[in-house]
Amino acid sequence: MTPWWRAPVLVTGVLVLGYGTLLVLSGGPAAPPTAVGVWLAGSLVGHDLLLAPLTLVVAALVVRTLRGVQRRVVATGLLVAACLVLVALPALLTPGVPDNPTTTPRNYGVGLAVLLAADAAVTAALVLAARRRRRPVSLAKGPVRTQE
Amino acid sequence: MGIAFGICFVTGLISHVHQNPPAWLDVPSRPVWAYQLTQGLHVATGIASIPLLLAKLWTVYRRLFAWPPFPDLARLLERLLLVPLVAGAVFELVTGLLNIVQWYPWRFAFPVAHYRVAWVLVGALLVHLAVKAPTARSVTGRRRRPDAPPEAAPSPERRAVLAGVAAAAGAVTVATVGQTVAPLRAVSLLAPRDPALGPQGLPVNRTAAAARVAPKALDPGWRLLVAGRLRLSMSDLLALPQHEVELPIACVEGWSASARWGGVRLRDVLDLAGVPPDRHITVVSLEEGGYQTSPVGPSAARDPLTLLAMRVRGEPLHLDHGYPLRLIAPNRPGVQQTKWLSRIEVSS
C-alpha cells in the first residue's frame, strides 16, 4: 500500500534537489561549479571504487575465516576501527595552520593507536567470552553421555 | 540515517542564517547556549553519521551490480538518483571533517559549497525516501493486516550490523565530542580542539598574525569610532560602567569554550552615541578581508550580556583574543564575535 506521505515528500524532494542543483551551478567566485564538481565526483569515486571494494575484500576474509558470534564480534571491531581511522585521518594528515598551535594540538598518531588498541582489546575479550560460553555446554554434555 | 542528516540540515540552516541574516531578521540573542548546542550537535551528528552512512552503503553496495542494470525506466531513475545521494553525502562528510581541522585543499569557499550541496543531498534523500517508501514500510512491518503471517525476528547478522553501527557511532563520538563537552576532553583523543588549550586557556581560530593586525591593534593611538561621531579611547571605555559576563565562544567548527569576559555593555556605548534602540548595527574589525565586519541585530545589540570586552578571566585580552577590544555576545557563532574592533556603524 502506498503511504499517504509519499507524494508530498516526492514533490518536496524534487523541488529541493532542483534548488540545490541550481545553487551549485550558480557558481560565483566563492564556489565555482567545476571546483565543487571535482570534489563531488571524487567523493563518489573514492567511496564506490576505493573504500567499498576494500571493505568487501576485508569482509570476505572475515566471512571465510570466522563463524557465528566470533565473526559478528570481529566485524563490529573492524567497523569501529575503520571509523576511528577515518575520523583521525584529517587531523593526522593536515599540514596544520601556521602560527596557531591551538588547532589540532594533540598527538593524533598516539591517540589513534590507543583507541585502536582499546578496540582490539574489547574485541578479543568478547571473542574469548564467546568461546568460554560455548565450552561449558560441551563439557556438560560429556558426563551425561558416559552415564547412559 | 535520515534523522541524522535531518539534524545536520536543520542545525546547518540555523548556522547559515546566523552568518547570513536576511535584512529583515533580528536573530534572537537568547537562549545564550543555543548556538553552542546547535553547532555542537551539527558537528557531532555529522561525525556519528559516518558509520551510519558506511553501513548503509556497504549493505546495498552489491545491488549496484544487479543484472540487468536498468530493467525499466523507474529503476533507471532510481539509479541516477544515487549519484547526487551518494556523492552529496560523502562530499558533506569529507568537507565537514576537513573543515574542523581547518584544512582546505580545494578551490572553493567551504561554507558556500557545504551549504549548497546540503540542498542537493536533502532533496535526493527525500526523493529516495519517497521512492523506497513501500519497502521501508514492509520492513518495519507497521500496519500489517491482522491475517498477515507473523514477522520474522531480525536475523543475528542484522542485529550485529545495528550493534556494530551503534558501537562505531559511540566510539567516534566519544573520541571527538570533548572539543565542546569539556568533561570529556581527556578521553577525546581525536578531537581537533582542546577547549582549555590556548592563550588565557582558550583556543584561537584566527591569530593576530594571520589577520595582520598587530601594528594597528598595539598602537597607543587606537580609538573606537562609534556611529561616525563618537571617538572612544581605552581610558574612555574604562571610565564607563564595567560588567562581567560568563559566555561561550562557540565556533562553527563545533568546539566551544566558556569564559568570564569583562568590559562595557554594547548598549551603553550605543546610548552614549545616541543610536536608537531599534537599529541594526555592524561591527568592523581592524582586520581587512572576509572577516572584517559582522552584523548585530537589535536583539543582540541591546542584550545586557553583549559586551565590548577588554578583559578575559581577569586579564587584558591576549592579542590573539582581540586586544584591545572585541565583541562577545550570547547565541552567536564564534566567527562573528569580531576581534580587534575599530568601528561600530549604524545601518540606515
Q: Taking residues A95-118, what's their average pLDDT?
A: 92
Domain-terminating residue out of A23, A49, A65: A65
Nearest by Cα to B38 from B280, B340, B274, B331: B331
Same domain, A88 and A112: yes
Does residue A107 lie in a domain region? yes
Chain A residues whose beta carbon lies within 8 Å of the beta carbon of residue B168: 76, 79-80, 82-83
Q: Terminal CA-to-CA distance of chain B, rounded, Å?
A: 45
For A:32-61, CB contacts with B below 8 A are 32, 35-36, 38-41, 43-44, 46-48, 51-52, 55-56, 59
Residues of A whose CB is below 8 A from B259: none
pLDDT digits (tens, 9 = 90+) for B163-208: 899 999 999 999 999 999 988 888 999 999 999 999 999 999 999 9
Residue in the block written with cell 569482509: A59
Higher pLDDT, B155 or A143: B155
Spatial distance between the Cα atoms of B103 and B95, rounded to a whole number of angstroms: 9
Chains A and B: how many Cβ contacts under 8 Å?
A: 237
CB B308 within 8 A of CB B339: no
The ipTM, to two decimals, is 0.88
A122 — pLDDT class (breaks 50, 70, 90): very high
Strand pairing report for B281-285 and B256-265: unpaired
Q: Look at A31 and B113 and tell me if their CB atoms are within 8 Å.
A: yes
Domains in chain A, number: 2
- Looking at residue B58, its pLDDT comes to 86
Co-location of A106 and A133 in the same domain: yes
- pTM, 2 dp: 0.90
The answer to whether position A22 is within a domain reads: no
Neighboring chain A residues of B131 at a CB cutoff of 8 Å: 10
Pick the closest to residue B92 from B65, B123, B63 (CA basis): B123
Q: Do A31 and B190 touch (CB under 8 A)?
A: no
Same domain, A57 and A102: no
Containing domain of residue A61, as a range?
33-65
Residue B141 has pLDDT above 50, yes or no: no
- Please check whether residues A47 and A120 belong to one and the same domain: no
Does A114 sit within 8 Å of B189, measured CB to CB? yes
Q: What is the mean pLDDT of chain A?
A: 88
Q: Which amino acid is at A83?
A: C
Rounded to an integer, the average pLDDT of B202-225 is 93
- Nine-digit cell at B284? 568592523
